[in-house]
Structure 1
Amino acid sequence: MFHPLPLYIGLRYTRAKRRNHFISFISGTSMVGITLGIVALIVVLSVMNGFHKEIQQRILSMASHATLTDPYGGGMQDWVTTLDRVRTHADVVGAAPFVEVQGMLVNSSFVSGALIRGILPAEEDQVADLRREMVSGSVDDLVDGEFNIILGRDLAAFLGVGPGDKVTVVTPQVSATPVGIMPRLKRFTVSGIFAVGMADYDRNAAFIHLRDGAKLLNLGDAVSGVRIKLTDMWQAPRLAREIAYDLGGTYRLIDWTQVHNNFFSALAMEKRMMGIILFLIVAVAAFNIVSTLVMVVTDKQSDIAVLRTLGLSPGRVMATFMVQGTMIGLIGTLLGMVAGVILAWNVEPAVGAIESLFGVHFLDPSIYYINELPSDVRLSDVLSIGGGAFLMSVLATLYPAWRAARTQPAEALRYE
């Protein structure tokens, strides 16, 4: 016999074949419940992590990490000097000027609002991946004075245009004419189509050359602002403040976490709430250990009484039954963590097999941002889920073990 004695007896109770098979069934059910709950949690949170990461990458492939604009809403006249100063900052990877306006695109009877951004193709490569997202045409087709335009795939489909077709750009700026005040109009030639995989861009964005945009908006030599790409996008709030301070607070600087704050906050809240809801599955399974141990304590009344008469203290009796319940939780937790990680790593083939078997399609690309299930297994999530489940299992053993410790030998052996 090895020591400590409570560990030896608790493990023996766990291994031994019980006379009451119903107790064994409840114990096995608790273990399986913990395992399945942990598997569900790990897989769901890993898929949500992958989904959030995919959406984030798609957004930031087109959005800058930080944007420098005039605080009064006017154009930046000295943008060349400002651009050079920004690029000297150690944490700036690249910077590019832009002009931007909310306008309308018209083709025959089809009209759609769009965010129209003027860019310098060579400079834009430093802050965005537009060139990589091109479906047809090239970013280099945006040439000063040719008034070419690149449209998102869904926007082009709605307007019924393709490369070589003409669209009319209507801006909020107005011009005085002999017949009165008229909105500013300009015909552009569609030179390319891009597709990011997000409706915010594919349905609502268009790109033109920077100088064409400045002429359209009557900005002269000014631009709307400067887009900045940083070495570490997760440090964007701090780095943006440093850059703004270096520029003397002359311009307004906002980072991507401010622009997309509501969206990413909603995703984070969704993940937290889903984790809490699914953790209730683990909680139910863990607290089945209570009923299991209560029945075990009742079944082992005479054994407990004999141990007490032999000098085993109430504390060691309590530890004995805590060991038994803890082993159920530990085995269920370890099995759940291993199975959950394996399934999370292979969730896409598993979902594909289910779709083929039942003839269904879970992710419609016309509704969702993605048409597959990306998975991002994070060690922190796996450890926190496993640790929480194991802790809950240990807590579930306290009351039955306390009841066992309060067993009175004389009462338990009265009818033996």
Structure 2
Amino acid sequence: MSPPVELLIGLRYVRAKRRNHFIGFISIVSMLGIAIGVMALIVVLSVMNGFEKELRERILGMASHATISGERGLLADWQRIAEQATGDARVVAAAPYISGEAMLRVRGQTSGTLLRGVLPEREAQVSKLPEYMRDGGLEALQPGGFGVLLGAELARSLGVAKGDSVDLMVPQASVTPAGVLPRFRRFEVVGVFEVGMYEFDRGLGVIHLDDAQALLRMSDQVSGVRLMLEDLFQAPRVVRDVAEGLGGRYRISDWTREHANFFRAIRTEKTVMFIILSLIVGVAAFNIVSTLVMVVQDKQPDIAILRTIGATPRMIMLIFLVQGLLIGVIGTLLGLSAGLALALNIDVVVPFIEALTGQQFLAPDVYYISDLPSEVERGDLIRVGGMAFLLALFSGLYPAWRAARTLPAEALRHE
């Protein structure tokens, strides 16, 4: 089956040498403009995906995918809840925790902190805290040992390191013969961790669950149970199903609620960047319009001859649409290929540019993430490619419509 006549003539016009070389130059510029715009979109969206993934992993490395806590913030039968939760195939692990606020004091230096009581052997299953340990280890937390793990920024602000002692006070009072006194206990710093998130590095202290129960006088109760899930994006549904299977009244939460504003801001920023960088492709699409208008003007005699031998306005329109689409398709494919190659090798390209210019883009003493992460998503490739193709298609409609309205007698009058 032979190709349509419109396609053959349109391809012939693309390959043919033009009397006006400026038209060919504008065609190349339009093609390169689309390629550069598509490449920029792919690279920027991939880098933003990489940052989002990196931050999500760091946040969820310390926070939980989902939590189940008591209606009043206390949970007595955490063992039963953890056992039933892990019975769900979608739940990987469960661990109890105690959460509270405390004040640390060292040689006149004080700092508030969020206090978290954990069971080391279970905590390692629901968080990445062992991977973030810079000094010491999670196993250093022993029941009755009153050891504490501090975030790197918190330890630095207090001027303490592993082996030092800190006074830990909680906002609960003890009644003594001397009056009502704040409850405090001396803890030994048994480790320092660094997550790379200021929220945790500056404001979190981790102690053993038994020590937290003794300090806060919670007997055998805990604040709740943390869950690690097979698919973190199913957290709202899974934690709701688990809580319904437990019976009774429980308070549930998940990472999409606790950090909703943060990830929503990243998504909004990504959308805005897509719109802004799409303007580059839009400018290139306008170049296609000017190119095809000049081509139509250059091919007036050819259009007239085609009309006189029976070509319909629809055929003429399709002939010139082919040229616009070809410029757009080639530019889009070049941009997708270059953008994909650059996004997949960003860890090689960026260090090369830094070495060439002598400048470091993300200094490790300023930013926690010193490397540009990149994550290519298939949806971004389809969305960017589809947008560029549609712009090229719409850009060719007006010039093709003008070509279809050409009158043979008017076009051949001066020939």
TM range (shorter): over 0.9
**Residue type of the partner of 2:24?**
S
8 Å contact 1:38–1:385 — kept in the other structure?
A: yes
Letter of the 1:226 partner, please give it. V
Match of 2:275 in 1: 276
Which amino acid counterpart does residue 394 of structure 1 have in structure 2?
L
* Deviation of 1:184 (Å): 1.8
**Corresponding residue for 1:22?**
22
Change (3 A) 1:178 1:364: farther
- Number of residue-to-residue matches in the alignment: 414
Provide Cα deviations, 1:225-281, integer angstroms capped at 9, x if missing partner: 111111211111110110111112421111111111111111111111111111111
Distance in 2 between the 1:413 and 1:153 partners? 82
Identify the residue that residue 340 of structure 1 maps to in structure 2. Answer: 339
Q: 1:55·1:369 contact (CA, 8 Å) conserved in 2?
A: no
Whether 2:349 is the aligned partner of 1:350: answer: yes
Separation (CA, whole Å) in 2 of partners of 1:324 and 1:88: 61
Cα distance in 2 for partners of 1:227, 1:188 equals 25
Alignment of 1:147-186 (within 5 A): 147-186=146-185
- The alignment partner of 1:126 has SS state of helix
Q: Where does 1:26-37 land on structure 2 (aligned, <5 Å)?
A: 26-37=26-37
- TM-score for both structures, normalised by structure 2: 0.97
TM superposition score normalised by structure 1: 0.96
Residues 47 and 374, structure 1, Cα contact 8 Å, conserved in 2:
yes
Q: Which residue does 2:50 correspond to in 1?
A: 50
The CA distance in 1 between the partners of 2:3 and 2:245, in whole Å, is 67
Amino acid across the alignment from 1:8: L
CA contact (8 A) 1:30 1:285 kept: yes
Q: Do residues 323 (structure 1) and 325 (structure 2) align? A: no
Q: Which runs of 5+ in 1 are unaligned?
A: none
**Letter in structure 1 aligned against 2:388:** A
Alpha-carbon distance in structure 2 between the residues aligned to 1:3 and 1:140: 72
Deviation sequence 1:288-340 (CA, Å, 0-9, x none): 11111011111111111111111110000000000011110011011111111
In the alignment, what sits opposite 1:132? 131
Residue of structure 2 equivalent to 1:361: 360
The one-letter code sitting in structure 2 at the alignment partner of 1:396 is S
- The CA deviation at 1:369 is 3.6
Comparing 356-365 with 12-21, greater Cα deviation is found at 356-365
Corresponding position: 1:94 with 2:96? no
Which amino acid counterpart does residue 135 of structure 2 have in structure 1?
A: S
Further displaced range: 375-384 or 320-329: 375-384
2:222 corresponds to 1:223 = yes
CA distance in 2, matches of 1:72, 1:103: 20
Identity over aligned residues, as a percent?
54
Unaligned ranges ≥5, structure 2: none
Q: Which residue of 2 aligns with 1:256?
A: 255
Amino acid at match of 2:339: G
| Residue identity in the other structure for 1:63 | A
Q: CA deviation at 1:366?
A: 4.2
Q: 1:249 to 1:360 in 2, by over 3 A?
A: farther
Task: Give the letter for the 1:305 counterpart.
Answer: A
Mapped to 1, the partners of 2:331 and 2:172 lie a distance apart of: 66
Q: What are the Cα deviations for residues 102-147 of structure 1, in whole angstroms up to 9, with x where unaligned?
A: 2221212322221110111111122112122211112111111111
Compute the displacement of 1:186 (Å): 1.4
- Aligned residue for 2:205, secondary structure, equals strand
Partner of 1:9: 9
CA distance in 2, matches of 1:152, 1:46: 31
Q: Please give the alpha-carbon distance, in whole angstroms, between the structure 1 residues aligned to 2:12 and 2:324.
A: 12
> Deviation digits for residues 187-241 of structure 1, max 9, x if unmatched?
1100011122221212211110101111111111211111111121111111011
